[in-house]
Amino acid sequence: MSARPDTDDYRALFLADTPMMDMRAPTEFARGAFPSATSLPLMTDDERARVGTCYKQQGQQAAIELGHRIVSGDIREKRLAAWCQFARNHPEGYLYCFRGGLRSRTVQQWLRDAGIDYPLVLGGYKAMRRFLIDELQRSVERGHFVLVGGKTGTGKTRVILDIPHAVDLEGLAHHRGSTFGQLPQPQPSQIDFENRLSIALLKLQHRSAEPVYLEDEGRLIGRLYLPEALREKMAKAPMVVLEQSLDERIDVVVEDYVIDLGQRYRAFYGEQGDALHAEKLQADLFRIRKRLGGERHQCVSEMMAAAFARQRQSGDLDGHRQWIGFLLEQYYDPMYDYQLQQRQGQVLYRGSRRAVLDWVAGR
């Protein structure tokens, strides 16, 4: 393997989705990392804590010596084998630690001793994270955005996925955005979400100066919040509005929240998935009971329970159309109409999903 230089060209790393191995401890990685990074830590959390305590009490040299004693013998050989395998699998990759310091250079030297020259990212995680924060701010400031809006069930995410120059915010956040939008798999950390968003905008703006299409979202997508600068830009951005019939919208909600979400729960939880899916939707409904009012909440809850019972008995999904239609007409539509009236941005176009996609393609 020929030697490549260490790099601080963070833009090139993220534009190319360059594979990187992260030397930081598992808790550091979980707090925030990058989409193309793999956690292959030099030390476990406990080992790192021991070295940190030693550093505070006895200084750097003692901490370094302790680290070498901890990561030695079979432990060292096992970890080195994993690093070597990554380097062989990803000859174009890099390694990094928090600041591009001792951990990176230690692993780099051990790889070199094993016959593999593998470059590191100068400045490490901290410098790359700083780059993405600054780049996100620049992307928002210089970018032109068009929002895709519309009532619940019009298929906004479907349109976003069919527009080449768009960012799927809900996909990045791993959440469908509504009260009922939580998926069985956990959302990423806030830092991971921001990193993914920054990289997505970086790639689009690198390709062209076309407007970036985003789904009209609130401040929060699940428990993740949109960066304030982006929220302010979105509040004034022009919009295209999807318009579909009530029956078409119910079809979309059944597909997304009954069929697809049910499949996700079964895949994640196995035979308990169906019951947990039904419980989850009832719990979500309970969260909006005050805004619905007690009587309407009870009515929808009973309709939902009956629909799931019917589905279990016969596989028939039509019962779900009743409670979904009720929520759309009685709860979501009035809320959306009010929010649309408060918007500052211009409405550029209204139409069906197909019409909006044709309009976007013809711009």
Residue type (1 letter), 301: S
| Distance of alpha carbon 154 from alpha carbon 176, whole angstroms | 13
Indicate which residue of 54, 84, 97, 299 is catalytic. Answer: 97
Determine contact, residues 304/281, Cβ cutoff 8 Å.
yes
Could you count the other beta carbons within 10 Å of the beta carbon of residue 362? 6
Determine contact, residues 63/51, Cβ cutoff 8 Å.
yes
> How close are the terminal C-alpha atoms of the chain, in Å?
48
Structure tokens at 317: 């999904």
Q: How many residues does the chain have?
A: 363
Phi, psi of 214 (to 5 degrees): -130, 145
Which string of b and e fits 212-238 if b means at least 16 CB within 10 Å? bbbbbbeeebbebebbeebeebbeebb
Determine contact, residues 20/94, Cβ cutoff 8 Å.
yes
Q: Give catalytic status of residue 84 as yes or no.
A: no
Q: What are the DSSP E strand ranges found in 97-211?
A: 145-150, 166-167
Please name which of 197, 131, 129, 134 lies closest in space to residue 166, comparing C-alpha atoms.
197
Residue type (1 letter), 60: Q
What residues are annotated to the active site? 97
